[in-house]
Amino acid sequence: MGYNSQQKLSDNLAAIRIALTWKEGQRLSDEEVLVLKGYSGFGGLKAVLFPAGSKESWVALNASEQDLRLHAGVMELHQLLQQRLSEEEYKAAINSIRNSILTAFYTSAVVPQAVYGSLKKLGVEPKHLYEPSAGAGVFVTEAVAAFPSLQKVTAVEKDFLTGRVLTALGSSIPVPTSIQTKGFEQTDNSENGTADLIVSNIPFGNFPVYDDAYPDEAISGKIHNYFFAKGLDKLKEGGLLAYITTDAFLNSQSNKAAREHLFRNADFVSVNVLPDNLMKDTGN
């Protein structure tokens, strides 16, 4: 099945509608949980970059035919957010969506299932899982299914709306779960050295992260390099970091300093190779 942008937008709208009406302490139905799990972010939906307005106004801004097919759904998104949020929150939500376009490519369940299957073969049974770029929580929900040993989950997600979806979904997880809607660089140093397992499909891109703890541009100059370094900080002695990464991180000269930092501060355990079209259906 190929990437269906209209279906993805429709699924996102359904999940956001539940997330924005959910109240703390409210019990979600099984159907609502499934809808929340269907949220996939806006990484493959660049039509959300266009402003609320008529199709004609989009055409004037050089919208493609594919963009125009999503016009009605994007207008529904604006209307939903305006109805459920304050003016300030609405603007923050739209800005957050637009800022996440380059990194919000979410993951199908087969990916964490493959990761956790590999870890279980190694005899790994974590008690505290930390997810630094959690999205809608697929690594969290699959971990709870895979590891009966789990006693605590910490999940971090920067995007405003995705954080709301994740918070609602987190209420259905039968393990104490802390959801933080903030950037990984804003997390507290008191968490350092606490996690047994750090796992994620981290963001990738040639843009920097600003963190006083990492002034060296070789680490903080690219967001994926930063996530490796910061992830190691959160691990307790003997913990494991398991990220979905790229051929470029492993081989590119531009990432050499970050690799050297990683292997100076951690022991390499294993690598598993996944198909290069793995994210085609979920993120295009």
- The predicted-structure confidence for 24-51, as pLDDT tens digits, reads as follows 889 999 999 999 998 888 877 889 899 9
Q: At which residue do the structure tokens 């603007």 appear?
A: 91
Q: Alpha-carbon distance 79 to 222, whole Å?
A: 35
Cα end-to-end distance, the chain, whole Å:
11
pLDDT in tens, 195-233: 999 999 998 888 899 999 999 999 999 999 999 999 999
Strand order in the sheet with 235-244: 177-180, 152-156, 128-131, 195-201, 235-244
Q: What is the pLDDT of residue 272?
A: 83
215: buried, middle or exposed (CB in 10 Å: 19+, 13-18, 0-12)? exposed
Q: In this structure, what token pair is assigned to residue 27?
A: 């019990």
Identify residue 24 by its one-letter amino acid code: E
Q: What is the pLDDT of residue 246?
A: 85
Q: At which residue do the structure tokens 């050297």 appear?
A: 260
Could you tell me which residues come within 8 angstroms of residue 89 by beta carbon, excluding any fewer than 6 positions away? 81, 160
Q: Alpha-carbon distance 78 to 274, whole Å?
A: 37
Residues of the chain below pLDDT 70: 1-3, 102-106, 278-284
Q: What is the pLDDT of residue 195?
A: 98
Reduced to 3 states, what is the DSSP secondary structure of residue 216? Answer: coil
Reduced to 3 states, what is the DSSP secondary structure of residue 122? Answer: coil
pTM: 0.89
Q: At which residue do the structure tokens 């299914």 appear?
A: 145
Q: Alpha-carbon distance 270 to 243, whole Å?
A: 11
